[in-house]
């Protein structure tokens, strides 16, 4: 006979087994979920840690250098290494607003094969087209992500995903940074926030570099005519004379003083006089446009000076100087006025007898006053002062 007590015991064990199995499966599922959450958290923490280190590196570089190029180089390398991008390239805005020039140094990895692959990826992303990616980034002034159709463009390293970062300096997109990846990348948080931070620090260096460049320019150029001033001219003469060799054509200085300029100021006014000075500067630079080895500067008032150096022979320099004199025989025409101001010119060549550049300038100055005493509008070649 069957023992009913044994059957009940078997049923209890079976129910207990099923209960324990369900509990085990539930705990196993919970453990897997917890592990997944922990792994995701660790990945996010690792990613945030990498982003933080990336930003710290860029900020440190931006604070210790005045070179925007150097900051961009560091940004390309560090972003690729810490964010998992396969490569990055930077394009600077040209005067016409386009971004179709690649700077070999602003590319990571910086090897010829890598540059070719990245350039191919840029072309495939329609970067260089009039309404392409660069235009969109410039117009929208925001971070853009995209995907290149692999069916249409077979790119080395499968760089079919990209992220474009605009660097806005002075109100316009001054630099475009492009990062390429073989994995999908989206322009969304926290990437957008990180990129905005990076762009802001690069822009800060660009603006600082531009400000420093402007300060240096203003310190060495005349505010009215925008020509080099006495300071830059003196430094340039010193450098040219230091590099000059006896076998070369000697450098020469041409001192120019406008005739009757005081009369223009007294009769037409100082504003008109300033405009005459600007036109005089234009005539000088225009006449000398075909002669690269020269420098035109304004010493002050109505005095200009030209440094000739390089390949011109003394006869060629004299011919050019006569041409300058002819250029000032035409009247200055503005607002119905016909203002006449010829040029008295003194020309002096560097010689071993000169003790310094200032001595050569003094001889040119004496020659210029000889031109004035002779009625102006002419060129006088300097003689040694002790022979004058």
DSSP structure string for 243-284? H--TTSPPPEEEEEEETTHHHHHHHH-HHHHHHHHHHHHHHH
Higher-confidence residue of 28 and 365: namely 365
Rg of the chain in Å (alpha carbons): 36
Both tokens assigned to 148: 């290149």
Contact 324, 256 (CB under 8 A): yes
**What local confidence, expressed as pLDDT, does residue 388 receive?**
44
Mean pLDDT score of the chain: 84
Residue 46: the pLDDT is: 47
Choose from 22-31, 144-153, 154-163, 258-267 the range with maximum mean pLDDT. 258-267
Q: What confidence score (pLDDT) does residue 48 get?
A: 60
**CB–CB of 256/318 below 8 Å?**
no
Q: pLDDT-derived band of residue 6, with 50, 70 and 90 as boundaries?
A: low
Non-local (6+) Cβ contacts of 218 within 8 A are none
CA 277 to CA 56: how far, in whole Å?
51
Residue, of 316 and 292, whose pLDDT is higher: 316
Report, as an integer, the average pLDDT of 163-178: 88
* Residue 185 pLDDT exceeds 50: yes
pLDDT band at 234 (very low <50, low <70, confident <90, very high): very high
What does the domain layout of the chain look like in residue ranges? Answer: 49-218, 230-387
Q: How far apart are the first and last CA of the chain?
A: 151
pLDDT attached to residue 387: 47
pLDDT, tens only, 238-247: 998 888 877 6
pLDDT at 5: 59
pLDDT of residue 98: 67
Does the structure show a pLDDT above 80 at 184? yes
How far is it, in rounded angstroms, from Cα 275 to Cα 278? Answer: 5
Domain 230-387 has CATH 3.30.70.270: yes
pLDDT at residue 152 tops 60: yes
What DSSP designation does 386 have? G
Closest by CA to 230, choosing from 174, 307, 160, 169, is: 307
Binning pLDDT at 50, 70 and 90, where does residue 349 land? Answer: very high
Average pLDDT over residues 121-140: 83
Q: Which residues pair with 258 in a beta bridge?
A: 343
Model confidence, pTM = 0.70
SS3 content of the chain, % helix, strand, coil (to 5): 55, 20, 30
Higher-confidence position of 307 and 44: 307
Checking if the pLDDT of 38 tops 60, the result is no
Read off the pLDDT of residues 66-92 as tens digits, 9 standing for 90 and up: 889 999 999 999 998 888 899 999 988
Give the pLDDT band of residue 42 (cuts 50, 70, 90).
very low
Judge whether 49-218 and 230-387 match in fold.
Answer: no
Is the model more confident about 314 or about 39?
Answer: 314
Q: Which fold has domain 49-218?
A: Beta-Lactamase (3.30.450)
**What pLDDT is stored for residue 45 in this prediction?**
45
3-state secondary structure 143-199: CEEEECCCCCCCCHHHCCEEEEEEEEECCEEEEEEEEEECCCCCCCCCHHHHHHHHH
Q: Alpha-carbon dihedral of residues 20, 25, 28, 32, nearest 10 degrees?
A: -160
Pairing of strands 343-349, 379-381: parallel
């Amino acid at each position: 006979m069957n023992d009913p007590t044994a059957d009940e015991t078997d049923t209890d064990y079976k129910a207990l087994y099923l209960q324990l199995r369900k509990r085990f499966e539930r705990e196993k599922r919970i453990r897997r979920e917890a592990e997944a959450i922990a792994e995701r958290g660790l990945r996010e923490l690792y990613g945030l840690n990498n982003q933080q280190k990336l930003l710290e590196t860029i900020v440190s570089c931006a604070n210790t250098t005045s070179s925007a190029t150097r900051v961009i180089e560091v940004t390309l390398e560090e972003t690729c290494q810490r964010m998992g991008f396969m490569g990055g390239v930077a394009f600077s805005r040209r005067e016409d607003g386009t971004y179709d020039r690649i700077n070999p140094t602003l590319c990571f990895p910086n090897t010829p094969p890598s540059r070719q692959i990245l350039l191919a990826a840029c072309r495939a992303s329609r970067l260089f087209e009039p309404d392409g990616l660069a235009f969109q980034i410039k117009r929208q002034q925001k971070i853009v992500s995209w995907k290149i159709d692999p069916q249409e463009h077979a790119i080395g390293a499968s760089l079919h995903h990209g992220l474009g970062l605009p660097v806005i300096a002075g109100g316009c997109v001054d630099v475009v940074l492009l990062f390429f990846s073989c994995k999908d990348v989206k322009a969304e948080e926290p990437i957008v926030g990180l990129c905005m931070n990076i762009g802001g620090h690069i822009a800060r260096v660009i603006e600082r570099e531009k400000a420093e460049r402007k300060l240096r320019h203003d310190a060495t150029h005349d505010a009215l005519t925008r020509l080099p001033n006495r300071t830059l001219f003196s430094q340039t003469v010193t450098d040219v004379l230091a590099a000059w060799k006896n076998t070369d054509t000697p450098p020469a200085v041409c001192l120019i003083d406008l005739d009757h300029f005081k009369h223009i100021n007294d009769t037409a006014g100082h504003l008109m006089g300033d405009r005459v000075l600007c036109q005089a500067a234009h005539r000088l630079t225009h006449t000398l446009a075909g002669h690269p080895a020269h420098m035109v500067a304004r010493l002050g008032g109505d005095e200009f000076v030209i440094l000739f150096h390089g390949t011109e022979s003394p006869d060629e320099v004299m011919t050019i100087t006569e041409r300058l004199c002819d250029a000032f025989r035409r009247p200055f025409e503005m607002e119905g006025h016909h203002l006449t101001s010829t040029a008295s010119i003194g020309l002096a060549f560097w010689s071993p007898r000169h003790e310094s550049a200032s001595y050569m300038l003094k001889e040119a100055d004496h020659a210029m006053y000889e031109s004035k005493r002779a009625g102006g509008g002419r060129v006088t070649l300097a003689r040694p002062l002790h022979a004058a």
